[in-house]
């Protein structure tokens, strides 16, 4: 048996982030007096530098390494860039919030880096094992971050719930993977695809495996019927952590869905499309209707997230029509565009909550937004952008995300699906309008001026303006999504 040194070059960014996570941990253990800011700046530096490494090592053609466990391609690189970007912004928003609550320990930033690394591995996985390792790395870091406020019973409860249900979902996923292995004799995506294509796989076992895989993916995306953890975890976790959970991991879960379903199991697309269809409709319905009843805005945004992920799935399920794959690129890139848009909106929405919170005060009820237009017209306007964008009203990016997905659904001939999705969006518009209502139509309860560091204000303004600007010119992001997927299909 001869030992071959693998090609490390395509995984340079992952290696860099892993090394930096360890360095940050060690450095902050020794330099105790400046550990907090050191860890923060080291993390931000790592994320920015990782972006440059990713761009530098980017290659037009997919490159496999580590014995085909790992792939570097355009889709992966694009999603990785989005992951660095959203994690960096989430950390920036959360820093002062965590400091006010004495939660800004260096370990937090190390965990954030490890979470990022986990997502990067997920995004670049070409094998069930590397996918699973990445997923667990991300999830374990997130469980710990949710429990970071260890004196808060709510936070601990949320972490327990997240951990137990997450472990269950991992179990389902592993079980599905083992069945797929049993049916196809391989864990590597292209070999699985080959086996499925040749129909050498045992169909019954394959279908069972598929069902479990879909369940695992649905759990990570947080869609019905695996959504139960979402509202509780969003509500219980410190807002800065909720911000983390609701952004980059959605992109990683999207990548997981693309790799597992589209790469490995594209030839049974009609099967999983049917499952996703039910999941998507149920998510849009439940997410939008349940959000109406919420008073806690974190829970409301959690349900809204469920419906958004359902909408995103509509794009994934419109790819193959009666065996015709002509629509695939259009449909999958619309889903990707939707996921990216959602992350941008979600960053801004939880960023607003952090902006309104201060030491000793948690902004988490819709009423905390009362009269925001009086207190700060500028940030009320930004929140207005976010809410109308999420409701899918033009000129904001959320509208074009919905337009792209609906276009794919209509092109696939699922008119009823488009009509149902649209009718439920009208129900959904109600709760976004209610937030605008309390900001603009009601008198403020809390007259205190907004206390937030300058960098949060600037970043949040940029984020809000981006939602409007990308709505005025959505072409670039749309094309990037399509281009990134083009090489991977």
Footprint of another protein (CB under 8 A): 373, 377, 384, 388, 393-395, 399-400, 403-404, 406-407, 410-411, 415, 418-419, 422-423, 425-426, 429-430, 433-434, 436-437, 440-441, 474-475, 478-479, 482
Tell the smallest beta-carbon distance from residue 59 to another protein (Å). Answer: 24
Query: How far apart are CB 407 and another protein at their closest, in Å?
Result: 5
Three-state DSSP class for residue 238: coil
- Contact between 115 and 140 (Cβ < 8 Å): no
Q: Which residues pair with 72 in a beta bridge?
A: 63
Q: At its nearest, how many Å lie between another protein and the CB of residue 431?
A: 11
Of 57, 53, 51, 50, give the one whose Cα is nearest residue 10: 57
Minimum CB–partner distance for residue 288 and another protein (Å) = 13
Closest contact distance (angstroms) between CB of 297 and another protein is: 18
User: Among 120, 136, 112, 20, which Cα is nearest to 70's?
Assistant: 120
Q: Which is nearer to another protein, 85 or 327 (CB)?
A: 327
Q: What is the rounded distance in angstroms from the CA atom of residue 91 to the CA atom of residue 452?
A: 14
For residues 277 and 403, which CB has a smaller minimum distance to another protein in the complex? Answer: 403
CB of 388 to another protein, least distance (A): 6
Contact 238, 98 (CB under 8 A): yes
Rounded Cα–Cα distance for residues 302 and 187 (Å): 34
Q: Specify the residue, 405 or 452, whose C-beta has the smaller distance to another protein.
A: 405
Is 33:63 a contact under the CB 8 Å cutoff? no
Phi–psi pair at 72, nearest 5 degrees:
-120, 115
- Measured CA to CA, the distance from residue 96 to residue 453 in angstroms comes to 7
| Cβ closest to another protein, residue 182 vs residue 394 | 394
Q: How far apart are CA 473 and CA 347, in angstroms?
A: 20
> Cβ closer to another protein: 105 or 437?
437
Q: How far is the CB of 54 from another protein (least distance, A)?
A: 24
Q: In terms of DSSP H, where are the helices of 5-105?
A: 12-30, 35-56, 74-100
- Shortest Å, Cβ 453 to another protein: 23
Please state whether beta strands 70-72 and 63-65 pair in parallel, antiparallel, or not at all (unpaired): antiparallel
Give the span between the Cα atoms of 426 and 447, in whole angstroms: 33
Integer Cα distance of 97 and 465 in angstroms:
23
Q: Which is nearer to another protein, 111 or 404 (CB)?
A: 404
């Amino acid at each position: 048996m001869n030992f071959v040194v693998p090609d490390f070059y395509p995984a340079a960014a992952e290696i860099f982030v892993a090394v930096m996570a360890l360095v940050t941990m060690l450095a902050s253990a020794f330099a105790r007096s400046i550990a907090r800011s050191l860890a923060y700046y080291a993390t931000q530096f790592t994320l920015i530098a990782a972006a440059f490494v990713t761009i530098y090592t980017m290659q037009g053609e997919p490159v496999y390494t580590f014995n085909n466990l790992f792939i570097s391609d355009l889709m992966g690189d694009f999603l990785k860039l989005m992951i660095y970007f959203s994690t960096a912004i989430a950390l920036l928003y959360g820093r002062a919030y965590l400091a006010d609550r004495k939660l800004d320990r260096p370990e937090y930033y190390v965990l954030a880096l490890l979470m990022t690394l986990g997502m990067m591995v997920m995004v670049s996985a070409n094998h069930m094992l590397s996918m699973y390792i990445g997923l667990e790395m991300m999830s374990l870091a997130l469980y710990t971050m949710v429990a970071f406020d260890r004196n808060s019973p709510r936070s601990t409860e949320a972490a327990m719930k997240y951990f137990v249900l997450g472990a269950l979902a991992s179990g389902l996923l592993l079980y599905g993977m083992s069945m797929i292995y049993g049916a196809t004799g391989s864990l590597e995506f292209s070999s699985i695809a080959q086996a499925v294509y040749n129909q050498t796989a045992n169909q019954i076992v394959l279908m069972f495996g598929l069902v479990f895989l879909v369940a695992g993916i649905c759990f990570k995306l947080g869609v019905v019927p695996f959504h139960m953890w979402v509202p509780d975890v969003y509500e219980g976790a410190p807002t800065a952590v909720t911000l983390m959970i609701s952004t980059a991991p959605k992109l990683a879960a999207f990548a997981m869905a693309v790799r597992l379903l589209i790469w490995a199991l594209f030839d049974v697309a009609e099967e999983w499309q049917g499952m996703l269809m039910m999941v998507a409709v149920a998510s849009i319905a439940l997410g939008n209707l349940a959000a109406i009843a919420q008073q806690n805005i974190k829970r409301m945004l959690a349900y809204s997230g469920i419906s958004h992920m359902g909408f995103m799935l509509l794009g994934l399920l419109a790819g193959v029509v009666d065996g015709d794959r002509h629509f695939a690129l259009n449909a999958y890139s619309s889903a990707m565009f939707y996921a990216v848009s959602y992350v941008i909106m979600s960053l801004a929405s939880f960023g607003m909550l952090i902006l309104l919170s201060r030491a000793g005060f948690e902004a988490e009820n819709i009423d905390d937004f009362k009269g925001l237009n009086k207190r700060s017209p500028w940030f009320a306007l930004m929140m207005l952008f976010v809410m109308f964008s999420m409701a899918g009203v033009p000129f904001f990016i959320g509208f074009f995300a919905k337009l792209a997905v609906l276009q794919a659904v209509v092109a696939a001939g699922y008119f009823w699906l488009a009509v149902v999705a649209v009718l439920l969006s009208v129900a959904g518009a109600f709760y976004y309008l209610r937030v605008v209502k309390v900001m603009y139509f009601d008198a403020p309860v809390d007259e205190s001026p907004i206390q937030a560091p300058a960098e949060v204000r600037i970043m949040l303004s940029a984020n809000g303006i981006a939602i409007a600007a990308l709505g005025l010119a959505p072409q670039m992001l749309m094309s990037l999504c399509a281009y990134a997927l083009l090489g991977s299909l």
